[in-house]
A = this chain, B = another copy of it.
Amino acid sequence: MKLQKQAEVTEYKAAGFIEKYQQLVRETVIPYQYEVLCDNAGTEKSHVIENFKNAAKALRGEDVGDGFYGMVFQDSDAGKWLEAAAYSLASKRDPELEAKADGLIALIAAAQDSDGYLNTRFTIADRDKRWQNLLEGHELYCAGHMAEAAAAYYEATGKRKLLDVCLKNAEHIYKRFIEDGVEGYPGHPEIELAMMKLYRASGDERCLKIAEHFVNVRGVDPTYYRRERDSRDWTVWGNNADDNDYQQSVRPVREQSDATGHAVRAVYLYTAMADLASEQGDRELKAACERLWKSITQRKMYVTGGIGSTVHGEAFSVDYDLPSDTAYAETCASIGLMFFASRMLEGRADAKYADVMEQAFYNTVLAGMALDGKSFFYVNPLESVKGISEVAPTHRHTIPVRPGWYACACCPPNVARAVMSFGKYAYGENEDTAFCHLYAAGDINLKNGISFTCETGYPYDFTVTYNIRSDGRLAVRLPHWSRDTKLTLNGCDAEFELKDGYAYVNASAGDVLVLTLDGEPRYIRGSSKVPELSGKACICRGPLVYCFEDIDNGDKVLNLQLKAGGKVTVSEESPFEDTKALDVEALVSEDDGSLYSAVFPELKRFTAKAVPYYCRANRGNVNMRVWLPMQAYDKS
């Protein structure tokens, strides 16, 4: 099979579930986040736009004093917002939004130094400190986010201004690190995946070379960060330069097998590795990606697609250390896992990648945002208990209700861009095939000429209808969780070739291809190697993980137990619009409150209500659990 690419969808008009989310992001999140960038939202100061203005002034020789404010990576918020705006414009014209974006791009362009350098932190002040601190400085990280925005904005609008800014910036980076051979690689990977995108948007081979360079040089000399630290007299946060695990630089990436360190950094790096491996047919690099994929998805991932289980370094822990209550499981890390999955899919259409991509999206990624689009989670635990979550010393990070904004505002704009570019994850293509990785309702027109619509109420309905508008081959994913899957073409069983979990069907214009997936709720268990999950089960339906909240269960979530074989049915009513809750034949106990006792309370039948995990915490601070103890033993 030929290599398939992320869909270069000229027009993906979302419908159904995805459209509703895109509308929320378009109408609520993107405008709100713009106000944040402008410091008009009444949230903690962002200063992003002011930083660009001040950098331009500084370049003109004006004294801007303490003109920079924010994190060292503050510029990246502009990049992420522009990228989300670009995807929004690609799906729906909006002159007002485009004008805002153009205005911001003009400010960014004005803040670029004559040599191509672009970063407000080291332009407003400390110009002599440029490139001194790759460990913490985030210059390449910010450059990457701007390049991702540039590629997306160019694709969406055809406007080159930001693209040219970023290409000039890339030229600067190319000269320094490749032509001049200056040592170093970024503490936070991002430039690598971004340069792959900029390369595809612009065709500029130097971008590809930059990506290749930073991927290949990483970890070859693990003493780099220590030497860098010793060579300068300043630091941003005092990061441990010897913690190569944290920054994925213990050894060359081709030799890595264990997903370690800061989870977002890790998956951003692996994304670039996978992309580059496919682009260059690099089997050794691909093999490393496969090992890292396995490490994450078979030993270090929550059932919600959350990764990076520990707050210590926002990092991957050791294998099977997946606590529910103290989980970090950063929203951005799951978005990064989607990136990684989509690049693995580009190398080989295997349903295992798409399954995980979907798992991350419908659970941890969507949970990152409130249903009204106005508040956001960084941290996505699988259990929340009033009086312990956020309060206990080990649980300070597990805030039970989404805050409106964060000083370190990485997750909210990341959710926005993931939602707005959903079509890129849902569909892929190569010369003769349309890949349907995810079931995303809408209108699909691919560059390879294949065109169809997709109708579905997924993830709450399990019939997916493809109305084919052009002759061509469709590769439709059959998810691992669907025990009963049907595929019909014009009402008859479809003939298809099954490969790696994809059904390859030849279709003609006018054909109607209908995929029927298994919508039965299912009990899921964890491996016995995960201590947290002994004797427990959770409930999933389609790609959705469900959870139990006190508010739906008479404040009895901590007393609930599942029973093997307990019927799970779709509720007639759901607390949330356009969603389905589940009624679960469960058990409840009521103890006398004594801390320890030899008297075991009776387990009584109880119909518990479960709601999708991503809907959690939209009704205040309530006890919540994904995993419940399960009674499985039949005495007889």
- Residues of chain A whose beta carbon lies under 8 Å from any beta carbon of chain B: 297-299, 301, 303, 310-313, 315, 317-321, 323, 325-326, 383, 385, 387-388, 391-395, 481, 483, 522-531, 534-537, 558-559, 561, 563-564, 587, 589-591, 593-601, 603, 628-636
Contact = CB atoms under 8 A, between A and B. Distances in A.
A563 B636 CA distance: 13
A598 B481 contact: yes
A604 to B, nearest CB: 10
Contact of A387 (B320, B564, B631, B633): B320
B320 A563 contact: no
7 contacts: A298-B594, A394-B394, A524-B597, A525-B596, A525-B597, A535-B536, A636-B636
Contacts of A598: 481, 483, 522-525
A168 to B, nearest CB: 41
A565 to B, nearest CB: 8
B298 A530 contact: no
B558 A591 contact: no
A524 to B, nearest CB: 5
A311 B392 CA distance: 11
Contacts of A299: 595
Contacts of A483: 598
A326 B558 contact: no
A136 B166 CA distance: 55
Contacts of A310: 392-394
Given A527-B593, A535-B630, A633-B633, 6 more contacts: A299-B595, A313-B393, A526-B595, A528-B558, A564-B600, A603-B633
A608 to B, nearest CB: 14
Nearest to A299: B595
Given A526-B595, A527-B596, A558-B529, A393 B636 contact: no
Contacts of A630: 535
Nearest to A297: B595
B534 A629 contact: yes
A536 B536 CA distance: 10
A600 B587 CA distance: 19
Given A536-B535, A600-B564, A527 B591 contact: yes
B632 A631 contact: yes
A530 B323 CA distance: 15
Given A531-B383, A534-B628, A388 B320 contact: yes
A317 B326 CA distance: 14
A523 B596 CA distance: 10
A636 B323 CA distance: 34
Given A387-B319, A535-B561, A595 B527 contact: yes
A169 B198 CA distance: 76
Stoichiometry, copies per complex:
2
A325 B531 CA distance: 9
Contacts of A631: 535, 631-633
A633 B587 contact: yes
Contacts of A633: 561, 563, 587, 603, 631, 633
A612 to B, nearest CB: 17
A634 B387 CA distance: 33
A288 to B, nearest CB: 21
A359 to B, nearest CB: 9
A350 to B, nearest CB: 16
Given A587-B633, A635-B636, A594 B531 contact: no
Contacts of A394: 310-312, 317, 321, 323, 326, 394
Nearest to A388: B321
A393 to B, nearest CB: 4
A564 B563 CA distance: 15
Nearest to A534: B629
A535 B629 contact: yes
B393 A312 contact: yes
Contacts of A635: 563, 634-636
B528 A559 contact: yes
Contact of A528 (B536, B589, B632): B589
A525 B601 CA distance: 9
A621 to B, nearest CB: 14
Contact of A315 (B393, B528, B632): B393
Nearest to A301: B595
A600 B301 contact: no
A559 B531 CA distance: 9
Given A529-B593, A603-B632, A392 B523 contact: no
Contact of A524 (B323, B528, B531, B596): B596
Interface centre among A481, A534, A561, A601, by most chain B C-beta atoms within 10 angstroms, is A534
B595 A392 contact: no
A534 B325 CA distance: 13
Contacts of A537: 600
A591 B534 CA distance: 11
A390 to B, nearest CB: 10
A528 B558 CA distance: 6
A315 B392 CA distance: 11
User: What 7 pairs across the A-B complex have the smallest Cβ distances?
Assistant: A535-B629, A631-B633, A312-B393, A321-B392, A522-B598, A528-B559, A310-B393
